[in-house]
Structure 1
Amino acid sequence: MRSTVRAKVVDRRGAMLRGIGAGFLVLMLAGYAVAARAETVIKSHGISTFGDLALPADFTHLPYVNPDAPKGGEISQWSPGSFDSFNPYAIAGNAAALSSIFYESILAGTLDDVGAAYCLLCETMEYPEDRSWVIFNLRKDVTFSDGSPFTAEDVLFSHELFRDKGIPEYRSVVEGKYQSVEVLDPYRIKFTFTPGTPFRDMPLNAGGTTIFSKAHYEANNRDLEKSSLEPFLGTGAYVLESFKPGQQIIYKRNEDYWGEKHPLNIGQNNFDRIRIEYFGDDNAAMEAFKAGVYTFRNESLPKRWASDYDFPAVTAGDVVTAELPSGNIAGGQSIIFNLRREQFQDPRVREALGLAFNFEWSNKALFYGLFTRINSIWENSEMAATGVPTPEEVALLQPLVDEGLVPASILTDEAVMAPVSSEDNALDRRNLRKASALLDEAGWTAGDDGIRRNAKGETLRMAMFHSRADLLPVMGAYVENLRALGVDASFDILDDPQVQERASPPNFDFDALPTTVVNGGPEGLAGLEQAWSSVAKDNSSRNRMGYADPAIDKLLALVDAASSREELDNVIRAMDRILRSQMIIVPRYYKKDNWVAYYNMYEHPKTLPPYAVGELSIWWYNAEKGDALKAKGALK
């Protein structure tokens, strides 16, 4: 079934002027009607980046939920560090886990189709074939969590609020893309996009804006740019029940939630309470899980997954452990260079420093062989470049070669792969020799003390830090290899506020940083501009490395303009080839599956969606099993 209904809309523009030859004949005859060009307008229950929507207008629930899932119970998880704000939209403060749970947007995505979004706060949407504008016909039954009505004025207010006070990286990307936003009536709002802007994703982006209550924001003198322990007022299914600063948060399901019976919500939002417990480190969190202090755990540490889940509750069947498949793009775990620093300007230096990271030894000695090496920034997806460029990729890369923006070798070379090292020794001497030669060529020579310096006498410094103590073994081994290479390397554990302050705009006070790089997916890819465009070089927390390259800027414009998934994949693969050839990251590793452990009182649909475990949204509580666990003292 096609997902859209097409209607003809006449655009009456009044009198028409035409130039004929060298003269200029003006036809302005009173009462003379000129039929303007008819514009095809699509009226739909949603929008897809490419092609038709998977779900028809009359769908009753999402295909991966249990529509009969019971409501009730509590699920609890842990979060590291601390928090001092419920405002996740400000640079200031350390936002609490799940602090965006209060809010919704006009359109909502699904967990099985990342390129589609459906009407949540709207009944329908209208847009022309070129997507140069969109009208949202809003629902009249939506209320904020205090029962106050939701109208188009709240949408306009929220759009302007993020436009004027959103984080700089967001503002720099959306600046100039909206020609106008106008309230047509209390339940209709129109977004018109600036001519020359790639329109494909703009209706979806406009519909994805987080919605706040204008009246509540203004009456309480709120400020989007400031941290606060009072959430803004939203329309979401959960509200704040209680919190202990830096220790615990409890969100409760709003019994008067307007969208309880919306098809997008059937079988979702099943828990009465979601509780978050904070711990200073993972060891303390693990012990608390074993004691039943919280009930659901996503495991990230391979050593722990391989050896620490044999405690009595698991043996007794009170705790379930499972490896659930993941269809997500790999998390992009890497060590990024601060490209603002002079020592990292030369790609030979970056390549040499990458050769010092021994994944194979780390995986065997530290990770129990459970991790997989990242080669591509879009690893585990069709967007990852492989082998030599295809003809389609060459067609995209050739103009960049002709302009001198990338070397001609990009047209024939295979995609750069991460270096392979010996798994038996932490220090791979073959790679060390290659790295040494590269550094010598780049002018960083080793002195009598073994430390490499340039012609100015400056040491090749590479100071790194993170807040996660579990990174010490692998980063410590990397530092030792760097020191053997003559690099003045270090890795320190700092508290989370320090890390955030030093690694974020405007400071960017680091040499290199273990983190993740933004790769995005086919659902608009707005985050790619914030991560890789030149305009985000010095103002984006997604572009911590300070990356800027005119070749990538040109390809980003093609990302926005791609008219099919195939076109998009080709553009991203071309980007991937360039980025990998520049050696701007040290690729680390990822895990192919989701490792989860939970107390045996939760259930989930037989087939989970490909892009999320969904434990907080589509799982549910089995009261009988929960009572049994409590009766035997397995839970606190």
Structure 2
Amino acid sequence: MMLRHRSPKARAIARACRTTTDKSVWAAGLALLLALLLALPVWADDAAATDANAATDEKIIDTYGYSFYGDLSYPEDYKHFSYVNPDAPKGGEISLGVVGTFDSMNPYTRKGRAGALSSMMYESLLGEGPTGAAVPADVYAESYGLLAESLEYDEGKNWVIFHMRPEAKFSDGTPVTAYDIEFSHNLLLDEGLKSYADGVRKRIPKVEVIDDHTIKFYFAPGISRRTLIDQVGAVPAWSKAWYEKTGAGLNEGRMEVSPGSGPYVIDSVDVNRRIVYKRNPDYWGNDLPFNVGRNNFDQIRVEYFGDDTASFEAFKAGVYTFRRESDSKKWATGYDFPKVESGAIKVEDLPDGSPPTPTGIVFNLGSEPLKDRRVRQALALAFNFEWTNESLQYGLFKQRASFTQDTDVMANGVPEGAELELLKSLGDLVPPEMLTEPALVPHTSSPERLLDRRNTRAAMQLLDEAGWAVGNDGIRRNANGESLKLNFLFNSSASGTLSGVMENYVSNVKKLGVDITLEKVDPSQYTNRERDRDYDLVYDQYLTFLIAHTGLDQAYGSESSAFSLFNPAGLSSPLVDAIIDAGLNAPDSANEKIALKALDRALRYEFFMIPVWYNPSHWVAYYDQYEHPDVIPPFELGYMDFWWYNQDKADALRASGALR
């Protein structure tokens, strides 16, 4: 990356040269699409900022990739990412199983349920892998140009200019231009998620198309510069011409899709049964170093099933050929059938270097009974991880305590040093006990029996203190005679093991005198109910983090807490808001890590989720016709990205009758 002082005239000449000269091409990086933004202070003075940006002696950073602190792991002339096989053959098919239903191929609308992988046809300025996967997968929070061959920005990150590759094309053969990027950006504002649109309008007040392949974004003053450049670089590129011709809307469920510029296009769709994606033979970016060793399959097929039992049986029969296992019972006992014993199916436990997703039983903090922390604590005491893990999950999991589990930004023990000073600086926002007590960890339970008597007694005392007394019928009621009635929303397509875990949990809760119902609904109803936050409890997940970014606002911040799809508890905490701000405005990586550790501590203190378990590995099973690099990069498994097909092995499987 180069730091330059250039006049506007010099930069204009450089832009002109870029449009006429072949250049080396670069790699694509981390891009989160719709989960990265929430509103921040409003743009104050467009004209003044624009005038300031026009200074003739600006310090300009001209680069082939982006990271917030400017450190990039790959040089400008890199040939491919270090973890890929540059000689991986192209060809064959990988097929996957999905449980559920779909009624749309538009993944960007709240209406309907989108088909699996339906966003994979679209690329962005700073590229990513299938469905937003991290690229490169061996480093964190670094982005490299895909549709953009380079970018430049002022040192204060008040604006960014992307210089696009003129050779980039949509699958219908039309060029991808700066006008398409501008259109896509504005379409997300007009018809995208409200939390996204509200945040972007205030943070990115102006977009300017300079020429067909050059676009400039202006950023609002007075806000953190985190996740500004990488956010606009992550906007999916849609064809302006197609939307204008068809009159289609982004906010509608539909089967027809706009052309994308990515390596795959839709081949066929059979609603609720099958989706097939095929390689675009005219894909413009095949020879980019960004793509070397990637996008290796000719076809990606997705098969749909009503439940996980049917899906597993179909895998055993060879209906599909690659399976990521999440059911501990199946992993422990289900993979002893003949095809595994013969070697036709490989079963592998591969390392996962990503922080585990914060999954658990989430409390709807808008539910009246659950506003009382003592009620939430009592309900949490009914969950017995130790018994669950030993009796139902074969001891294969670890208990999760943190939102950044097993990372260097996980809070441990009593706050001290710089973290303690940060918390003290927030004054009365910080409860006194947070300064003197260790970071909250889950309770322990006896593995000998489902109902831990000690925890049950403690839970009952908490409910008594909260004013929920037990009646003659064993049901708890408040002073107004209202019963403590709760609804636990659950997806009926979940695995049998997960369903059993939650049934046992609900059984324990009922023994506390709580009138709780585990309501199992089909995937479509579950999606709609979850969007409307129509539940008291739900099995869901939150965003993990290793860096500060504005996606933290959308997942944990107060301003969008009433409607954000990424905040199922509806958490609204001034303390959390203040710590997020500290992380976003950290002057360097060291202070950023301090803020993130404090954020983990605060989120655990707020107690809006019962943490369950995590698995530090990828459990995969696949027909022995696929190969992968010897070392899996830490942040992606990459089976649709950088694995490849072995034709000789595939032929042997068919000759043996293991596959049709």
Find the counterpart in structure 2 of residue 9 from structure 1. Answer: 6
Question: 1:399 Cα deviation (Å)?
Answer: 2.9
For the pair shown, the structure with the greater C-alpha radius of gyration is: 1
1:567 pairs, out of 576, 580, 591, with 591
- Tell me how far apart the structure 1 counterparts of residues 198 and 218 of structure 2 sit (CA, whole Å): 19
Letter in 2 for 1:446: V
Q: Secondary structure at the match of 2:394?
A: coil
Question: 1:238 Cα deviation (Å)?
Answer: 0.2
Letter in 1 for 2:88: A
Unaligned runs of 5+ in 2: 10-53, 128-134
Kindly indicate whether the alpha-carbon contact (under 8 Å) linking 2:424 and 2:430 is maintained by their aligned counterparts in 1. Answer: no
1:212 aligns with 2:213: no
2:536 pairs, out of 511, 516, 527, with 511
1:106 aligns with 2:131: no
1:436 aligns with 2:435: no
Question: 1:573 Cα deviation (Å)?
Answer: 1.5
**CA deviation string 1:422-458 (max 9, x = no partner):** 0011001111111111111111111112211111111
CA spacing shift, 1:225–1:323, aligned 2, 3 Å: same
Within-5 A mapping of 1:482-497: 482-497=509-524
Find the counterpart in structure 1 of residue 529 from structure 2. Answer: 502
- Tell me how far apart the structure 2 counterparts of residues 326 and 229 of structure 1 sit (CA, whole Å): 35
- Tell me how far apart the structure 2 counterparts of residues 167 and 540 of structure 1 sit (CA, whole Å): 9
Question: 1:466 Cα deviation (Å)?
Answer: 1.4
Kindly indicate whether the alpha-carbon contact (under 8 Å) linking 1:172 and 1:535 is maintained by their aligned counterparts in 2. Answer: no
Within-5 A mapping of 1:6-85: 6-10=3-7, 38-85=57-104
Task: Give TM-score scaled by structure 1 length.
Answer: 0.93
1:222 aligns with 2:248: yes
Question: 1:114 Cα deviation (Å)?
Answer: 2.3
**CA deviation string 1:71-110 (max 9, x = no partner):** 0000001111111111111100101111111000000232
Find the counterpart in structure 1 of residue 500 from structure 2. Answer: 473
Find the counterpart in structure 2 of residue 96 from structure 1. Answer: 115
1:456 pairs, out of 480, 494, 498, with 480
1:447 aligns with 2:444: no
Task: Give TM-score scaled by structure 2 length.
Answer: 0.90
Question: 1:119 Cα deviation (Å)?
Answer: 0.7
1:623 aligns with 2:650: no
Question: 1:347 Cα deviation (Å)?
Answer: 1.0
- Tell me how far apart the structure 1 counterparts of residues 354 and 55 of structure 2 sit (CA, whole Å): 47
Within-5 A mapping of 1:526-537: 526-537=550-561
Letter in 1 for 2:385: F
Q: Secondary structure at the match of 1:176?
A: helix
- 68-77 or 404-413: which moved more? 404-413
CA spacing shift, 1:244–1:11, aligned 2, 3 Å: closer
Find the counterpart in structure 1 of residue 603 from structure 2. Answer: 579
1:356 aligns with 2:375: no
Within-5 A mapping of 1:197-208: 197-208=223-234
Question: 1:530 Cα deviation (Å)?
Answer: 1.3
Find the counterpart in structure 2 of residue 19 from structure 1. Answer: none
- 375-384 or 187-196: which moved more? 375-384
Give the CA RMSD over aligned residues. 1.5
Find the counterpart in structure 1 of residue 258 from structure 2. Answer: 232
Find the counterpart in structure 1 of residue 187 from structure 2. Answer: 161
- 115-124 or 168-177: which moved more? 168-177
1:147 aligns with 2:147: no
Q: Secondary structure at the match of 1:38?
A: coil
Question: 1:36 Cα deviation (Å)?
Answer: 6.1
1:289 aligns with 2:315: yes
Q: Secondary structure at the match of 2:267?
A: strand
Letter in 2 for 1:6: L
Within-5 A mapping of 1:605-620: 605-620=629-644
Question: 1:398 Cα deviation (Å)?
Answer: 1.2
Find the counterpart in structure 1 of residue 445 from structure 2. Answer: 421
Kindly indicate whether the alpha-carbon contact (under 8 Å) linking 1:217 and 1:233 is maintained by their aligned counterparts in 2. Answer: no
Within-5 A mapping of 1:246-285: 246-285=272-311
- Tell me how far apart the structure 2 counterparts of residues 459 and 582 of structure 1 sit (CA, whole Å): 25
Find the counterpart in structure 2 of residue 30 from structure 1. Answer: none
CA spacing shift, 1:526–1:200, aligned 2, 3 Å: closer
1:540 aligns with 2:559: no
Q: Secondary structure at the match of 2:202?
A: coil
Unaligned runs of 5+ in 1: 13-34
Question: 1:163 Cα deviation (Å)?
Answer: 1.4
Q: Secondary structure at the match of 1:476?
A: helix
Letter in 2 for 1:235: S
- Tell me how far apart the structure 1 counterparts of residues 74 and 503 of structure 2 sit (CA, whole Å): 50
Q: Secondary structure at the match of 2:205?
A: strand
Letter in 1 for 2:500: P
- Tell me how far apart the structure 2 counterparts of residues 633 and 223 of structure 1 sit (CA, whole Å): 47
Question: 1:256 Cα deviation (Å)?
Answer: 0.6
Kindly indicate whether the alpha-carbon contact (under 8 Å) linking 2:179 and 2:240 is maintained by their aligned counterparts in 1. Answer: yes
Kindly indicate whether the alpha-carbon contact (under 8 Å) linking 1:153 and 1:214 is maintained by their aligned counterparts in 2. Answer: yes
- 423-432 or 173-182: which moved more? 173-182
Q: Secondary structure at the match of 1:498?
A: helix
Question: 1:536 Cα deviation (Å)?
Answer: 1.2
Kindly indicate whether the alpha-carbon contact (under 8 Å) linking 1:462 and 1:488 is maintained by their aligned counterparts in 2. Answer: yes
2:149 pairs, out of 107, 114, 123, with 123
Letter in 1 for 2:478: N
- The alignment-based identity, stated in percent, is 44
- 607-616 or 484-493: which moved more? 484-493
Question: 1:331 Cα deviation (Å)?
Answer: 1.4
Kindly indicate whether the alpha-carbon contact (under 8 Å) linking 1:359 and 1:373 is maintained by their aligned counterparts in 2. Answer: yes
Find the counterpart in structure 1 of residue 201 from structure 2. Answer: 175
Question: 1:174 Cα deviation (Å)?
Answer: 2.2
Question: 1:502 Cα deviation (Å)?
Answer: 1.0
Kindly indicate whether the alpha-carbon contact (under 8 Å) linking 1:173 and 1:536 is maintained by their aligned counterparts in 2. Answer: no
Letter in 2 for 1:635: L
Find the counterpart in structure 2 of residue 24 from structure 1. Answer: none
- Tell me how far apart the structure 1 counterparts of residues 7 and 495 of structure 2 sit (CA, whole Å): 64
1:320 pairs, out of 330, 342, 346, with 346
- 287-296 or 561-570: which moved more? 561-570
- Tell me how far apart the structure 1 counterparts of residues 550 and 431 of structure 2 sit (CA, whole Å): 27
Kindly indicate whether the alpha-carbon contact (under 8 Å) linking 2:67 and 2:143 is maintained by their aligned counterparts in 1. Answer: yes
